Copies of this chain bind each other. A is one copy, B any other.
Amino acid sequence: MFGDISPQYHPLTPETIADYVFSRPELTTVFHAGEALEAEEVGDGNLNLVFKVRAKADAKRTIVFKQAVPYLRLVGDSWPLPTDRARIEAQALEIEARLCPEHTPKVYFYDPDMYLIAMQNLTDHIIMRKGLIKGIKYPLFAKHIGKFMARTLGNTSDLVLDYRTKKLEVARFINPELCKITEDLVFTEPYRRTDRNPYHIELEPQVLALQADEALRVQVAQMKEKFMTQAQALVHGDLHTGSIMINQTETYVIDPEFAFYAPMGFDIGAVIANLFLSYASHEVRLPDPETRADFRAYLLDSIRELWHVFVAEFQPIWAQVDSINMPRGYQEDYMLRLLQDSAGMGACKMMRRIIGLAGVEDIRGIEDVHDRSIAASLALNIAQTLIMQRHDFKTIEEIIEAATACRPTYPWVS
């Protein structure tokens, strides 16, 4: 995990990647040896180099190369990161492709010496977050993501895997360094004073009140404990709307380098949280009241639908368990706990996006400081409601009702 760097490893550049491409036998069906290629580095993340390579003669012949670098780019060399995450991502993609190929990019190969994955270039899709910011609806998203989560989560759990496979998979997907990032940035730092919480100063009164709320910190600690101990299923681990490539007909989930065995609610909650963050941003983003109301209704409908699709797609799994030892009452209780976990985990994801190191463009990108603070304040209030009331929620409709009853606290009334 922290072994020596492979002697063959070298970071690729747009200049050197052509030689690498032609050296790989897996790509001879895509590119012709020696032909002219175009390459650009497009990584906007913090962990990796990402190259898009196209044949000059035919832009449709294109591949993405994702190469892990041994440090966190956002922070620099001071935060070393194991290149083992490239293996984790490649193996998670392999499992996702088996369980839900229609929403997983095709992988050409994984190169363990270069910490590199070659995969399908999704040229007709955009990062979902960018679309949501513009107010673009994706009518099939809820159906696609609900199915993706039910298939990938349900089928990697003890409900489906035999006892030995499950336990060996837990060991294979031990992912300490990337888990640590989540433990710190999602479950620890937002709830205390630290230099790494770059929230905008206008929001300070609400952030300080939140950090002073011991009852909230108790609930967050429970979610952190669950994240660190409950090996329920192979989660994507970073399933926000920036990890989804989408258009009107297709949805792809990318970047599972944070994958490990964790509560299913961490993935489900991440999706719901990011839709609620978009909902909060559109308190101020879309200027026309009618467009705004319509788009926010779409977001809430998506939250509702993705949960119902998830439940429906889970039915084949319940149909195959032994109903003596897992009777109907247990199955219902299991799904209810998933719903409540999702509310709690999602809430933590929302709070970190407002208070902590990695904000979301949906809200931090709002230029007007007054508007931005309104959206951020609303997001925090939704999050606090979701985590504090989660044990009371029996349906996704109750979660949506509780969230939509929230209002921004900002501007402060003295």
Task: List residues of A (146-197) whose CB comes within 8 Å of B's CBs.
Answer: 158, 163-164, 166-168, 170-171, 174-177, 179-180, 183, 187-188, 191-192
Chain B residues in 8 Å Cβ range of A326: 221
Chain B residues contacting A183 (CB-CB under 8 Å) are 163
> Whole-angstrom distance between the alpha carbons of A367 and B52 in the complex?
78
Residue A215 lies at the interface, judged by CB distance under 8 Å to chain B:
yes
Interface status of A46 (Cβ within 8 A of chain B): no
Oligomeric state, in number of copies? 2
A229 near B228: Cβ-Cβ < 8 Å: no
Asked whether A218 lies within 8 Å of B167 as measured between CB atoms, the reply is no
In the bound complex, CA of A307 to CA of B158 (Å)? 32
User: Is there an interface contact between B228 and A158, defined as CB atoms closer than 8 Å?
Assistant: yes
Contacting residue for A232 out of B214, B229, B327, B330, CB 8 A? B229
A325 on the interface (CB 8 Å rule)? yes
By DSSP majority rule, is chain A's interface helix, strand, loop, or mixed? helix
Q: How far is the CB of A178 from chain B (nearest CB, A)?
A: 11
B-facing mask of A108-134, CB < 8 A → 1, else 0? 000000000000000000000000000
Query: Which residues of the other chain, B, contact A163 by a CB distance below 8 angstroms?
Result: 176, 179-180, 183, 228
Nearest chain B CB to A186 CB, angstrom units: 12
**In whole angstroms, how far apart are the Cα atoms of A328 and B222 in the complex?**
13
Cβ B192 vs Cβ A164 within 8 A: no
A201 within 8 A of B: no
- Partner of A171 from the list B166, B174, B179, B324 (CB cut-off 8 Å) is B174
B176 touches A324 (CB 8 A): no
B180 and A164 form a contact (CB under 8 A): yes
On whether A164 and B188 interact (CB within 8 A), knowing A215-B329, A217-B325, A325-B221, the answer reads no
For the complex, what is the distance from the CA of A192 to the CA of B220, rounded to whole Å? 39
Q: Residue of B at shortest CB range from A232?
A: B229
Cα-based distance from A168 to B324 in the complex (angstroms): 35
27 A-B pairs in the complex with CB atoms less than 8 angstroms apart: A158-B228, A163-B179, A163-B180, A163-B183, A163-B228, A168-B176, A170-B170, A170-B231, A171-B174, A188-B325, A191-B324, A191-B325, A214-B327, A217-B324, A217-B327, A217-B329, A217-B330, A218-B329, A218-B330, A221-B325, A221-B330, A222-B330, A224-B325, A225-B334, A229-B230, A230-B231, A231-B231
